[in-house]
A and B are shown apart, each in its own frame.
Chain A
Amino acid sequence: MVDHRRKGTRGLVLLALIIVALPAVIPNAYIYDVVILIGINAIVCIGLNLLIGYAGQISLGHAGFFGLGAYASPLLSDRLDWPPALALLAAAMAVGLLSFAVAKPILKLRGHYLAMATLGLGIIISIVLNQEGQLTGGPDGMPVPPFSLLGQRAEGEATWYWIVGALLLATVWLTLNLVDSPVGRALRALHGSEVAAAVTGIDVLRYKIMVFVLSAVLASVAGSVYAHYAGFITPSEATFFRSIEFVTMVVLGGMASTFGALIGAALLTALPQVLTPLQDYQMLTFGAVLVGTMVFMPKGLVPSLAERLARHRR
């Protein structure tokens, strides 16, 4: 476990170095854009991995929370004239409250039922964003005002790169801390055996709700950042397919591995950009990746590679 912590710290330092060094080799705005999207997706996936990988619960609706964050933050800053940073926090809090309200009935469900319920939740959010044309611009989407903090406007890929990089680093740090704490242990315990967790004093439902809300809030923050960065938002960011994308990234990168979630997000965000012909078959590609991972590497990339390495060393 001490070993765990050291590995986590090493990973965190490595990530910081990569974030600092990367701009030196990024040739153009297009690559910047891809890297920023990787960071945003990674934040969602790291949160989702707490729910799926660590606590063993599933959500097929997290793009809904991403979408709510993406719409709520610009709406608050535009319509109510709130400073964007405040709007972002308020959106995160609202999504936190909403996810808390739905979490209790939903997380009493298990397995397929939980999958169905979260799927339904995501679809409802997606429909609302599509239908409330007055507010959201409907299927055509809506423009998003620029982000500013203390009078400084965030403009240009380079600026956004640092914002997203810092947020990602903070997310990884907080997550590593959490996983390596008694709270993280409780989450892994209820994944391992709910009855055993309960008789050792863990309020299983309470912990499920906590991690669900936490992952929803992270998705909301990432969504808000995405909206302000992109400057335009459509309901396609909150679709069922987007939810599946997030889950696929987590599964590919590796269950119960924070850096796995990050790497899964990086690979599956970059892949369609690299293989442009695949863009028309994106859904198919993701489906294939999901099936392939489950069949050949059920633990995901990072845990499988780590296991290989450990075996080699011995």
Chain B
Amino acid sequence: MTQLVVEGLHKSFGAFAVLHDLTFSIREGSIHSIIGPNGAGKTTLFNVITGLYPPTHGRVLFNGADITGRPAHALAALGISRTFQNLQIFLNMSALDNVLVGYHLSCRPRLLPSLFRWPAVVRRDHEYRQRAEQLMAFVGLSAFVGAEASAMPYGALKRLELARALAVQPKMLLLDEPAAGLNPKETGDLDTLIQRIAERGVTIVLVEHDMRLVWAVSNHILVLDEGRKLAEGTGAEVRHNPDVVAAYLGEGGRHR
């Protein structure tokens, strides 16, 4: 079943057009990669889909509903969650609290019960704390449960963002370059981790320059170039597409 439909999407910043007439769709439960050169508009596309930027023209449909221009927090409630290329960690909080914020929607916090510390608030907080610890273990961060986020290494922070995004209990998870900046050891089990998330029934949209990871996990690949769709298809189809080779993969280039 189709989960996300992007229709005739344009995004301009002033006179500068970043996305042009982009149309594609994403199947529920798939791992859908979006690749393309630097500045192709991948992050901008994520920002539009997750409600951080309104599009200039065009529509975005999620599970059949038109979600164009809805604010990010409302889209999170519908089940769209993401990580960021340039980390967006709550550095003023502990690692566990970062993940707990991800449970915000499930907690449905209210002012009065919180002010008076109603027993139900305490009990549920305790519950979510345990679930947050489990999530941290799932992404391989057991060692950091007691840590302050500001004291964690870069690689661990990338996983912390992933745990926080999972706490939102998304139907669709957008990962913006999860392997960027990681050494091979840190990248290690990222492919299995992504596959395990997908097995839980979460649709994955992956933006990534590490082609080893892209080839390993993707069911479907969309290639962007200068804000336009250059090609689309399975790994094998994209890999041998001459336009893609010319624009991105190159002969013996880094994106082989």
Interface residues of A (CB under 8 A from B): 1, 174, 177-178, 180-186, 188-189, 191-193, 195-204, 210, 214, 256
Contacts and interface: CB of A to CB of B under 8 A. Distances in A.
B121 interface: yes
A93 B239 CA distance: 65
Given A1-B129, A202-B73, A177 B114 contact: yes
A61 B16 CA distance: 40
A225 B61 CA distance: 54
B125 A181 contact: yes
A194 to B, nearest CB: 9
12 contacts: A174-B116, A178-B115, A183-B111, A186-B109, A188-B90, A195-B84, A197-B90, A198-B71, A199-B52, A199-B76, A201-B105, A214-B111
Given A182-B125, A192-B89, A201 B77 contact: yes
B73 A177 contact: no
A274 to B, nearest CB: 34
A182 B104 CA distance: 7
Given A177-B117, A178-B115, A185 B92 contact: no
A222 B229 CA distance: 61
A192 B90 contact: yes
Interface stretch (B27-35, B94-102, B181-189, B216-224): B94-102
A269 to B, nearest CB: 26
Contacts of A195: 52, 72, 84, 88
A178 B88 contact: no
Given A178-B115, A181-B117, A182-B107, A200 B89 contact: no
A174 B111 CA distance: 11
Contact of B73 (A184, A204, A256): A204
B82 interface: yes
A181 B77 CA distance: 20
A204 B88 CA distance: 15
B73 A185 contact: no
B104 A202 contact: yes
A174 B112 CA distance: 10
Contacts of B211: none
Contact of B90 (A184, A196, A210): A196
Contact of A200 (B76, B92, B93): B76
Contact of B101 (A177, A181, A189, A203): A189
B168 interface: yes
B164 interface: yes
The 10 closest A-B pairs by CB, nearest first: A192-B90, A182-B109, A181-B114, A201-B76, A196-B88, A198-B72, A201-B105, A177-B117, A182-B107, A183-B114
